[in-house]
Chains A and B, each alone.
Chain A
């Protein structure tokens, strides 16, 4: 158990961007919101998984919507409160704690703002160990935990509670409601007991992202090689280093799909990397051979500053280093690969662990 203060938020937001694999929203807004919430309501208690009682009720919270909207239509701040209370009435009991459903990106910090406002603790874990585009893509699904009753609220005070037969349906309905709400909403879902959580959660992710963020910050201050420091901190592998020479994008069913081509530099001179993304980075090929794919994490960092680059910000001429980071073991099962492996995203290939290729 420890307390999270504004300085912890700074590191969490920065480290979370690395696990965002190109998606996950704008870490700057997340950082500011977290700091504001703690300054107004006090520090947040972070509990480790083993500090949670088996019969506790934990409900993950998150922001849902388009990253572009979230940097324009900033939240009111209390969107989820009404929805949270509605959920409590529905379930007939008080919620013990909240947590992150998705540690990659700003949803590492969103639950912090809920925890601060409601003065409940946050659990040191998440549902992905990274970011993914669709709501059902959390480890809870693999353990048969339902995302519903699912609460969603907007800045105007509207809220809704959904019940569905499976988590894929929740993604479908909640996506429509989010669009009607203006493509920015707050959600609470996957209500779970402490006992269940200990089975399905990816543990210690808040501590991990905070340490990644601190590592980046300290490396920058001491003018060390930030990219290399990050790589070590996440246990990742350098897949490629180069300059972006082409970026193509299109929107399909509300998802930003695209690819980027990188020309190699230094030891990768004369090699070409093709990156494919769908909000998050999904697949990387070097000279036609696939070298890393989802569910492993693919993150692009600015070669000079180590700053993670979102897929929306990829542009011609950027000098980037591509890191491949092994995904959590829960994704490596047949069920995990069915949910978030290459074939779900339309790539008819078998997943090969990144550590096998680069370890």
Chain B
């Protein structure tokens, strides 16, 4: 059995699963320190299901600890960024486009040194060991214990980053180092940013992992635990301690993966109807389709991939206005149960319409009995139409596909949605996200540039697949179960020798001993 937990903006959800069966679940408000909410969710789900704690073989947690720390500028370490690339890159030093307050929080310590590689593996300049050593000494003299090291084209050749790390470690024995090639992909500013964010979370990562470990132990759960990565795959607690930045933006993926699992469909549209907004995403082969845009974390540009989600202003608490008829985007949000008409309040909400239309039996039906029947019908039609428009935006072909509805606002949709082959409102839909965390596999991804003149296409692909697989294994995957789930090849413009950018994602089952 396993327990999946997902920390959301409002609630922390936990689900206990026995294989593919949901045994029980629990939802509790997210706490400011995050850990208390997680602990309560896990403890309660165990108590309510009466499952003995020694039956739990793994715990998976999708957390916001680290995103929150960056957003709130709290518990971040003083960090030094070293970039190897001189004489190139000088015009845009590290953290050049960061919000000033975040930059100042971690100290804005930047060092540009010689090194880096060209796209084809030639050196830009030789590594200057003395230069790096001097930088390390300066960092040490300032008492800085977190260092991010980024080199130009390190996704092609990481040797300079590796050697620089050795030198820095030698000078500062208790330093924690983040290497850009282990964390990010092509695009130096975004990759360097990810490495710096990772470095400044070093102490917090250790503290959080320890406190979660302790909390589970206190509940007598003697099982390994995992944290969700941004693409919905998992990584072991040890791996997470080294790469906390990979936990960013894992939430949306967990929701969609949970929805897919609960419905049993790998290719489907998922609509998550919330209190104020609804999100529509596409599932392809079990994973959410990714968006094109760079993801900004609290004003810092990164190249993490996030699900391509279309958000629109419809939710259970959406305020309804007549003449002209409009549903939302204003909403009473979490105050629905006090402000909505059916709950004794004085605001006409989408939920009130659902109650009046007989779609759901909650609150006081008599409070909405006097609503004009035609208004209710028109408004429910409008809601249906909003969902249909959103679904149509996200579809990639005219073929009808299954639609999975999750989230509290599911009550608003009663009829078949046009363009869909079937509509599934799975049981346990309120905690699809926690289930998504629970069923996740362990993943690894590589994103590199290969010069095909030296390497045949088959060899380059094989190398990329091997790297992705190795990463998944270090993150905790069972070697025997590794599969490649995605391969993307992009020939690059203007580069000779048919340079190609190859991105591979590998996943495997948890290697549970």
Chain A residues lying within 8 Å of B88, measured Cβ to Cβ, are 73-76, 155, 184
Residue in contact with A77 in the complex, picked from B90, B116, B119, B498, CB distance below 8 Å: B90
| Contact digits for A242-258, partner B, Cβ 8 Å, 1 yes 0 no | 01110001110011101
B417 contacts A by Cβ under 8 Å = no
Query: Is the CB–CB distance between A249 and B495 below 8 Å?
Result: no
Query: Is the CB–CB distance between B96 and A36 below 8 Å?
Result: yes
| Contact digits for B268-299, partner A, Cβ 8 Å, 1 yes 0 no | 00000000000000101000010011000000
A235 contacts B by Cβ under 8 Å = no
B393 contacts A by Cβ under 8 Å = yes
Q: Identify which of residues 19-77 in chain A touch chain B, using a CB-to-CB cut-off of 8 Å.
A: 23, 28-29, 32-33, 36-37, 65-69, 71-77
Query: Is the CB–CB distance between A182 and B91 below 8 Å?
Result: no
Residue in contact with A65 in the complex, picked from B97, B124, B494, CB distance below 8 Å: B494
A302 contacts B by Cβ under 8 Å = yes
Chain A residues lying within 8 Å of B153, measured Cβ to Cβ, are 72-73
Report if A76-B91 is in contact (Cβ < 8 Å); known contacts: A316-B396, A317-B308, A319-B393: yes
When chains A and B are docked, how far (Å) is the Cα of A65 from the Cα of B495? Answer: 8
Query: Is the CB–CB distance between B289 and A317 below 8 Å?
Result: yes
Residue in contact with A315 in the complex, picked from B119, B186, B292, B492, CB distance below 8 Å: B292
Chain A residues lying within 8 Å of B499, measured Cβ to Cβ, are 66, 68, 251
Query: Is the CB–CB distance between B292 and A77 below 8 Å?
Result: no
- Identify the closest chain A residue to B83 (Cβ): A74
Nearest Cβ distance between residue A154 and chain B, in whole angstroms? 9
When chains A and B are docked, how far (Å) is the Cα of A29 from the Cα of B189? Answer: 9
Query: Is the CB–CB distance between B97 and A251 below 8 Å?
Result: no
| Contact digits for B489-511, partner A, Cβ 8 Å, 1 yes 0 no | 11111111011110000000000
B239 contacts A by Cβ under 8 Å = no
Report if A73-B118 is in contact (Cβ < 8 Å); known contacts: A254-B495, A307-B293, A309-B292: yes
Chain A residues lying within 8 Å of B500, measured Cβ to Cβ, are 251
Chain B residues lying within 8 Å of A350, measured Cβ to Cβ, are none
Chain B residues lying within 8 Å of A269, measured Cβ to Cβ, are 398
Query: Is the CB–CB distance between B398 and A66 below 8 Å?
Result: no
Query: Is the CB–CB distance between B188 and A74 below 8 Å?
Result: yes
Query: Is the CB–CB distance between B496 and A254 below 8 Å?
Result: yes
Residue in contact with B92 in the complex, picked from A74, A256, A302, CB distance below 8 Å: A74
Chain B residues lying within 8 Å of A256, measured Cβ to Cβ, are 491-494
A183 contacts B by Cβ under 8 Å = yes
Query: Is the CB–CB distance between B292 and A270 below 8 Å?
Result: no
| Contact digits for A193-230, partner B, Cβ 8 Å, 1 yes 0 no | 00000000000000000000000000000000000000
When chains A and B are docked, how far (Å) is the Cα of A310 from the Cα of B118? Answer: 23
- Identify the closest chain A residue to B90 (Cβ): A76
A145 contacts B by Cβ under 8 Å = no
Q: Chain B binding site: helix, strand, loop or mixed by DSSP?
A: loop
Chain B residues lying within 8 Å of A319, measured Cβ to Cβ, are 393-394
B37 contacts A by Cβ under 8 Å = no
When chains A and B are docked, how far (Å) is the Cα of A68 from the Cα of B186? Answer: 8
B152 contacts A by Cβ under 8 Å = yes
Chain B residues lying within 8 Å of A169, measured Cβ to Cβ, are none
Query: Is the CB–CB distance between A182 and B118 below 8 Å?
Result: yes
Report if A71-B186 is in contact (Cβ < 8 Å); known contacts: A77-B90, A155-B87, A316-B396: yes
Query: Is the CB–CB distance between B392 and A265 below 8 Å?
Result: yes
Q: Identify which of residues 93-149 in chain B touch chain A, using a CB-to-CB cut-off of 8 Å.
A: 96-97, 116, 118-119, 122, 124-125
Query: Is the CB–CB distance between A68 and B501 below 8 Å?
Result: yes
When chains A and B are docked, how far (Å) is the Cα of A243 from the Cα of B310? Answer: 14
A144 contacts B by Cβ under 8 Å = no
A312 contacts B by Cβ under 8 Å = yes
Q: Identify which of residues 463-513 in chain B touch chain A, using a CB-to-CB cut-off of 8 Å.
A: 489-496, 498-501
- Identify the closest chain A residue to B493 (Cβ): A256
A179 contacts B by Cβ under 8 Å = yes
- Identify the closest chain B residue to A256 (Cβ): B493
Query: Is the CB–CB distance between B491 and A250 below 8 Å?
Result: yes
Chain A residues lying within 8 Å of B492, measured Cβ to Cβ, are 66, 68, 251, 256, 312
| Contact digits for A264-275, partner B, Cβ 8 Å, 1 yes 0 no | 010001100000
- The interface size of chain A toward B, counting residues with CB under 8 Å, comes to 56
When chains A and B are docked, how far (Å) is the Cα of A66 from the Cα of B186? Answer: 13
When chains A and B are docked, how far (Å) is the Cα of A113 from the Cα of B92? Answer: 12
Q: Identify which of residues 282-332 in chain B touch chain A, using a CB-to-CB cut-off of 8 Å.
A: 282, 284, 289, 292-293, 301, 308, 310
Report if A157-B491 is in contact (Cβ < 8 Å); known contacts: A32-B96, A68-B449: no
Nearest Cβ distance between residue B409 and chain A, in whole angstroms? 21
A304 contacts B by Cβ under 8 Å = yes
Chain A residues lying within 8 Å of B310, measured Cβ to Cβ, are 304
B395 contacts A by Cβ under 8 Å = yes
- Identify the closest chain B residue to A310 (Cβ): B493
Report if A156-B490 is in contact (Cβ < 8 Å); known contacts: A32-B96, A73-B118, A245-B396: no
Query: Is the CB–CB distance between A77 and B91 below 8 Å?
Result: yes
For A28, A182, A309, which residue has the most chain B Cβ atoms within 10 angstroms?
A: A182
When chains A and B are docked, how far (Å) is the Cα of A67 from the Cα of B292? Answer: 17
When chains A and B are docked, how far (Å) is the Cα of A269 from the Cα of B189? Answer: 40
Nearest Cβ distance between residue B90 and chain A, in whole angstroms? 5
Query: Is the CB–CB distance between B494 and A254 below 8 Å?
Result: yes
A313 contacts B by Cβ under 8 Å = yes
- Identify the closest chain A residue to B88 (Cβ): A155
B85 contacts A by Cβ under 8 Å = yes
A318 contacts B by Cβ under 8 Å = yes
- Identify the closest chain A residue to B186 (Cβ): A72
Chain B residues lying within 8 Å of A126, measured Cβ to Cβ, are none
Nearest Cβ distance between residue A19 and chain B, in whole angstroms? 18
For B119, B188, B397, which residue has the most chain A Cβ atoms within 10 angstroms?
A: B119
A147 contacts B by Cβ under 8 Å = no
Chain B residues lying within 8 Å of A179, measured Cβ to Cβ, are 495-496
If A36-B92, A72-B188, A302-B292 are given as contacts, then 13 extra A-B residue pairs at C-beta distance below 8 Å, sorted by A number, are: A29-B189, A33-B91, A69-B494, A73-B119, A74-B92, A75-B91, A156-B125, A183-B119, A249-B489, A255-B494, A263-B398, A265-B392, A311-B493
14 A-B pairs in the complex with CB atoms less than 8 angstroms apart: A32-B96, A69-B118, A69-B119, A73-B153, A75-B89, A76-B90, A183-B495, A245-B396, A249-B490, A251-B499, A269-B398, A313-B292, A317-B308, A319-B393
Interface residues of B (CB under 8 A from A): 85, 87-92, 96-97, 116, 118-119, 122, 124-125, 152-153, 186-189, 282, 284, 289, 292-293, 301, 308, 310, 392-398, 449, 489-496, 498-501
Question: 7 closest pairs, A vs B, by CB?
Answer: A77-B91, A256-B493, A66-B494, A182-B118, A251-B491, A74-B89, A155-B88
